[in-house]
Amino acid sequence: MGSRYHGRQLLCRAVTLLLEKLRVQHLLQAQAPSAVAGHSTPQHTRAYASIPACNSPCPGGPPAFSFDIDGVLVRGKVVLPEGLEAVRKLTTSEGRWRYPVVFMTNGGGVCEERKAQDLTTWLGVRVTREQVILSHTPMLDLVPELAQRPVLVSGRGDVLNVARSYGFQRVLHTRQLGRAMPAATPFSTYPPDSEEAPAAAHAVAGAALEQPDQAGATGGGEGRGAAGRPPVSPSGSGSGSGGLCPVRDLGLATETHPVDTVLVMTDPDDWYRDAQLICDVLTGAGVPTRSAAEAAAVGAPHVKLVFSNPDLLWANEFPKNRFGQGAFAHMVLSLFGRLTGGCRPSHVTFYGKPNPQPYRLAERLLLTQARQLGLPLPEVPPGVLPFSGMYAVGDNPAADVRGANQAGDPWVSVLVRTGVFQGPGPNCDVDTAQVAVDDVAAAVDAALHHTRYARWHSMR
């Protein structure tokens, strides 16, 4: 009796799954206007053919999602309609997420809270900062080591304050360094009324070096130097050092307080200035005015160089892809090599996709969300994630696809065609995605279908 009932239950589930599969395939085929318009060949059917049927290490678990932002959910300042559709599929009518979701981007320049607010506005559903992984978010792991060490920060946006919010207490932005010694970058301009003027005052404060906890309390703008120090004028000549090396008044990047680490947190707004100053700091072992020979003579330790993302290209409204931070990194490393007879800096680290740090962080955040959502999670051995699949949806094969493929099970790489990747084939030949679809809405359909399919196979 029991086995007959069990058999009937399985048959019912099989019929339900088959009907669901047919319904989704019909829906996807009906959603391919580009084929009708002749713009491109629809990839959905191929996508289903390419989904691994039941390779999930934990088929009974829920799915989890990681969405890239640029080229997937938005393009430049335009929110893609497929992004809104994808969110509808993953949320309840009350706007609650059905499954764990993170937004993992190689962009940055703002704090995670601010990006979460942007996503909330764009997508019409609440996104928290715990769902946001920016390119520089994994740099939080460096704070225990570098909190009290002099750090030079490069990048556009509010990276100086982002670095401070992470806990780096002795930070200096390349813009401050350039402004302090204008002869170092004669072709750059330094607006006198910079929005980071208060930050410069913090760096000027001598007390900040010895008592970093009080640095934030000095306040004021550049015109109000703290702790009895003279203010740094916009021209850099107001320090009394003749404009040759006023950087000493910043208290950092000096022989007594050389830069320990350079953090490139986003692609900079002035590549000339930052390439020049970073090379100066690297060759001078933390002191931009020092020669390599002088640094070697005193046995100064080498400076560590960290890039937050290696993307050569990214996509915005422009019809062709744009240079990203990876291009800037190439430039800096190439110039350093030319300056040093072919050497490479001793300590160079790349964060951001496809490197492992953001994926490890995503795994922790997604697991926490799954528990907070109250999803039933199967018992798994240590080191195994209780998800049927962690779907990493992205538009950049070299970053999103390669990163997910390298991250291992249960990550599933999903490539869309709304950003960097435009073909010509249905998938990338170099970094081949496990799933290739037209857009993020189709990606969610494919992932949910895959989840049901894996669960069904686990019951057989």
**Interface ranges with Mg ion (CB under 5 A):** 68, 70-71, 395-396, 419
The answer to whether the CB of 154 falls within 8 A of the CB of 325 is no
Q: Which of 270, 337, 272, 353 is nearest to 305 (CA)?
A: 337
Rounded to whole angstroms, the Cα distance separating 52 from 450 reads 8
Q: Which is nearer to Mg ion, 68 or 445 (CB)?
A: 68
Strand 389-394 vs strand 435-436: parallel, antiparallel, or unpaired? unpaired
The answer to whether the CB of 387 falls within 8 A of the CB of 363 is no
Whether cis (ω within 30° of 0) applies to the bond prior to 186 is no
Q: Which is nearer to Mg ion, 173 or 417 (CB)?
A: 417
Q: Which is nearer to Mg ion, 283 or 396 (CB)?
A: 396
Q: Name the minimum Å distance from CB 70 to Mg ion.
A: 4
Q: Name the minimum Å distance from CB 116 to Mg ion.
A: 18
Q: Name the minimum Å distance from CB 310 to Mg ion.
A: 13
Q: Which is nearer to Mg ion, 43 or 396 (CB)?
A: 396
Locus of tokens 């930070």: 171
Q: Cα–chain-centroid distance for residue 418? A: 19
Beta bridge partners of 322: 314
Q: Name the minimum Å distance from CB 105 to Mg ion.
A: 7
R_g (Cα) of the chain, nearest Å: 26
3-state secondary structure of 439: coil
Rounded to whole angstroms, the Cα distance separating 433 from 399 reads 11
Q: Name the minimum Å distance from CB 90 to Mg ion.
A: 19
Beta bridge partners of 22: none
Q: Which is nearer to Mg ion, 166 or 421 (CB)?
A: 421
Q: Which is nearer to Mg ion, 68 or 260 (CB)?
A: 68
Q: Which is nearer to Mg ion, 135 or 174 (CB)?
A: 135
Q: Name the minimum Å distance from CB 103 to Mg ion.
A: 11
Instruction: Tell me the helix, strand and coil percentages in the chain, rounded to 5.
Output: 45, 10, 45
Beta strand spans in 120-223 (E)? 132-133, 151-154, 171-173
Q: Cα–chain-centroid distance for residue 101? A: 15
Q: How far are the Cα atoms of 43, 128, 171, 221 from residue 275, in angstroms, in the given order?
A: 42, 35, 18, 27
Locus of tokens 């010509």: 424
Rounded to whole angstroms, the Cα distance separating 282 from 451 reads 49
DSSP 8-state secondary structure symbol assigned to residue 303: P
Q: Which is nearer to Mg ion, 363 or 395 (CB)?
A: 395
Please give the structure tokens belonging to residue 256: 């007594």
Q: Name the minimum Å distance from CB 414 to Mg ion.
A: 12
Q: Name the minimum Å distance from CB 306 to Mg ion.
A: 21
Q: Name the minimum Å distance from CB 404 to Mg ion.
A: 13
Number of H helices and E strands in the chain, helices first, is: 16, 15
Rounded to whole angstroms, the Cα distance separating 41 from 38 reads 7
Q: Which is nearer to Mg ion, 24 or 313 (CB)?
A: 313
Beta bridge partners of 218: none
Strand 261-264 vs strand 151-154: parallel, antiparallel, or unpaired? parallel
Which residue has its beta carbon closest to Mg ion? 71
Q: Name the minimum Å distance from CB 190 to Mg ion.
A: 32
Beta bridge partners of 306: 263, 349
Q: Cα–chain-centroid distance for residue 25? A: 33
Q: Name the minimum Å distance from CB 86 to Mg ion.
A: 15
Q: Which is nearer to Mg ion, 395 or 439 (CB)?
A: 395
Q: Which is nearer to Mg ion, 203 or 443 (CB)?
A: 443
Rounded to whole angstroms, the Cα distance separating 449 from 44 reads 12
Q: Name the minimum Å distance from CB 15 to Mg ion.
A: 40
Q: Which is nearer to Mg ion, 74 or 250 (CB)?
A: 74
* Through-space distance between the first and last CA atoms of the chain, rounded to whole angstroms: 19
